[in-house]
Amino acid sequence: MKLVLLTLAFGLLSTQSTFSQKRPRELGIKIGVLPVGTHNAITDVAGVKVGQVTLIQGADVRTGVTAILPHESNLFQQKVPTAIYIGNGFGKLAGYTQVEELGTLETPLVLTNTLSVPTATDALIDWTLNGAGNQQVRSVNPVVGETNDGYLNDIRGRQIRKEHVLEALQKAQSGAVAEGNVGAGTGTVCFGWKGGIGTSSRKLPEKLGGYTVGVLVQTNFGGVLQIDGVPVGEELGKYSFKESLDKSSDGSCMMVVATDAPLDARNLKRLAKRVFMGLARTGGIASNGSGDYVIAFSTAYRIPHEANQPTAPITLLHNDYVSPLFLAAIEATEEAIINSLFMAETTTGTQGHKVEALPKQKVLELMKQYGRVK
């Protein structure tokens, strides 16, 4: 059967139906107290770009790739400080140990499905080795995250190819970000409804530093959904373990946080831990079979691959000034997860499995009942 390849570069949405989707803020649901960035997306952090490729084939293939670039220069030669926090380690995250040891990121971040991690790492190696100025590179640490989209996608077919990953990297853009059934979120399920890609940002007031924090998530997990404190999952009678003790809550959530605040790997890990609190605020429970990871990086400064001197004069934010960033990360994560649900659409996939979109009209009625919609 002919492959239908839907490629999404951010700011360019692939189908007219996506335009009809509305984010929670457009419907009057305001999560958190901090102001959002221009696009309310991870790309509000200057220099960050995101690209996606969506694969849909016949009745069985519902998958894709999402790529995040911290900056447009040679990332291997000009690394960025990075940290990874593992909330629950049932996952296949590639590249963790070197980031943990050295505190730097030297390739773009790629998100995809579980069985396509090796393909994505191979593509990132190609991307790096072929980069101008990398002719002598003999070691690359590609970082690839995943969630298992096997309920809607024929994951055993391993339809993701290196060219799909490279295309997502090449078409990465700044600006508005497509959400829902796109890229690595094409076949995911969240709280029993259709999940996907979601993103959000917070812009701190100048008195709190003026820094930006952006988050992008790939949602594929369970729990008892809450939206801005409203027990939506409970009210709608849809939540983990409601019928029986099964694995309905298992899945994963990949969370990527970017900031322009001058943080080192130690404080980036502290920031990453707060991102996990944002997931908890939505009702996620980090179940046994859920791989929940946070990758946090800063664009404030770069770390050269080859040092010309033994020390580096780097200005870092003092511990006493990082708390506003913690709040920003929590709020942006919570909203990014909810955005992924609001922007996702009902999907039928492999073996006839069907996952309904979040019933937004019912949710809005609940939000009004609880006084959360103005």
Give the residue numbers annotated as catalytic, written as ranges.
252, 290, 292
Q: Which helix (H) or strand (E) holds 306?
A: none
Task: Tell me how far apart the alpha carbons of residues 261 and 248 are, in angstroms, rounded to a whole number.
Answer: 38
Closest to 186 in 3D by CA, of 167, 225, 159: 159
Residue 310 CB coordination number (10 Å): 5
Task: Tell me how far apart the alpha carbons of residues 174 and 47 are, in angstroms, rounded to a whole number.
Answer: 7
Spacing of C-alpha 252 from chain mean position: 11
- Cross-strand partners of 219: 253
Task: Tell me how far apart the alpha carbons of residues 177 and 200 are, in angstroms, rounded to a whole number.
Answer: 9
Do 96 and 254 form a contact (C-beta atoms < 8 A)?
Answer: no
Task: Tell me how far apart the alpha carbons of residues 65 and 61 are, in angstroms, rounded to a whole number.
Answer: 13
Residue 106 CB coordination number (10 Å): 26
Task: Tell me how far apart the alpha carbons of residues 158 and 85 are, in angstroms, rounded to a whole number.
Answer: 28
Residue 369, amino acid = Q
Task: Tell me how far apart the alpha carbons of residues 31 and 24 are, in angstroms, rounded to a whole number.
Answer: 9
Do 258 and 333 form a contact (C-beta atoms < 8 A)?
Answer: no
Strands 291-298 and 252-259: parallel
What separation in angstroms does the CA of 258 have from each of 129, 265, 321?
Answer: 25, 12, 17
341: phi then psi, degrees, rounded to nearest 5: -75, -45
Q: Which helix (H) or strand (E) holds 100?
A: helix 96-102
